[in-house]
Chains A and B, each alone.
Chain A
Amino acid sequence: MDSARRNFLKIAGLAAAGLTLKPAGNAFGMGVIVPEPDGAANFDSAIEAKRWAMVVDTRKLNAQTRKAAVAACRKAHNLPDIKNPKHEIKWIWEAGFKNAFPDLAGPHVPPQVEREPMLVLCNHCDNPPCVRVCPTKATFKRKDGIVVMDFHRCIGCRYCMAACPYGSRSFNYVDPRLHLAQTNVDFPTRTKGVVEKCNFCAERLARGQMPACVEACRNNELIFGDLSDPNSSVNQALRQNFTLVRKPELGTQPQVYYII
């Protein structure tokens, strides 16, 4: 190619690239600096805490309460009912002892522990590997300890799902609205392509309500409270009972404790 044509192409290319500078700059400016709305604050009725935690009293759970807890969560958060188990979305569900605690399972576990499933959910770890690996901070830990999903930012890379040692996360492989019989209009649905999981009902706590699963169990089967408050129900339960957490050797410091 002779040099006149070459130079023309070089300059044309640079000019075209230069045209993208302003829009690109706009995009970056918009994305990064989002000012705080004036006087932003939580609802007055909000319940706040320094470190939310949950205690699952498996001695008290029975088939009815377990199903009520799961159903309450699914209803409150518009979890789709997907028949294909590969695409299912679940935030809290029933799992046997040998699935919740695979390293403790063995031939000499008491029969009722072996037989009665327990409830498993996101443990809202204090040292969450899912938060460590998220490339966009779409999943992050709030000051009160709740590990939250920002569905607006999630790019659906599913790295957090690989990182979670408890299998607590679900991905929307299909449009969830296609599988919703009833919609709770007080909570959004999600869209395909984002990861989701239990959020300790942050939206209910903001309105002064206990998490849906906790409220569905009438007899303190699920105890929810502030670990930093020495008199909270969770601290009392933890002082009076020996509890297990799932996979403690991994250093994730889960905040869901199980009374066996």
Chain B
Amino acid sequence: MYDKGKVITGIVIFVIVFTFPFWINAGKANIPPDPKVNPEVAGKVCVEDTAFMKANHMQLLDEWRDSVVRDGNRTYMGATGRYEMSLTNSCMGCHNNKAQFCDSCHNYVSLTPTCWNCHIESKENTNG
């Protein structure tokens, strides 16, 4: 092999750097997410069932935003009735503890949705 010394050194450095996230966090298991629905909204029903929401709430929100903004439709037939297609009013209306509910999964998978840069997180807690 040409430049054997340089190549092997390079490969070793590469492997160390590439596997950095694994060995730096060895032994520290990350707590799996446990999104909690608020007790005061127990009994209320979500727009769709839990299994559907877990898999599809991102796609659902995409459909909602195009329908509201671009088509001018603000309500739709969910699984259990007619709902307003609104992140702040419908979703955050019940799931009003973002840190406990939304963030617990999003932080775990290292995802930062930008929705709340514009949409109000909590109607009660805004304005101090």
User: Touch between A and B in complex, CB under 8 Å?
Assistant: yes
Binding site for B on A (CB under 8 A): 30, 34-43, 46, 140, 142-144, 148, 150-152, 177, 182-183, 185, 188-191, 202, 206
Given contacts A34-B63, A39-B77, A182-B127, contact A188 B72 (CB under 8 A): no
Asked whether A148 lies within 8 Å of B69 as measured between CB atoms, the reply is yes
Chain B residues touching A, range: 20 to 34
Q: How far is the CA of A41 from the CA of B74 in the complex (A)?
A: 6
Which B residues contact A (CB, under 8 angstroms)?
A: 59-60, 62-67, 69-78, 82, 84-85, 88, 114, 117-120, 123, 126-127
A-chain residues with CB within 8 Å of residue B67 when the two chains form the complex: 36-37, 40
Residues on B with beta carbons closer than 8 Å to the beta carbon of A30: 59, 62
Could you tell me if A37 and B63 are in contact, using CB atoms closer than 8 angstroms?
yes
Contact of A41 with B62 in the complex, beta carbons under 8 Å: no
With A40-B75, A42-B73 as contacts: A152 and B63 at CB distance below 8 Å: no
Q: Is the CB of A188 within 8 A of B88?
A: yes
CA distance A36 to B71 in the complex (A): 9
Q: Across the interface, which residues of A come within 8 angstroms of B126, CB to CB?
A: 183, 185
Which 4 A-B residue pairings sit nearest by Cβ, starting from the closest? Answer: A39-B77, A40-B73, A37-B76, A191-B117
On chain B, the residues within 8 Å of A43 by CB distance are 74-75, 84
CB within 8 Å for A183 and B69 given contacts A36-B63, A39-B76, A188-B88? no
Q: What are 17 sample pairs from A and B whose C-beta atoms fall under 8 A apart?
A: A34-B62, A36-B63, A36-B71, A37-B63, A41-B73, A42-B72, A42-B74, A43-B75, A43-B84, A148-B69, A151-B118, A152-B65, A183-B127, A185-B88, A189-B117, A189-B118, A191-B118
A34:B66 contact, CB within 8 angstroms: yes
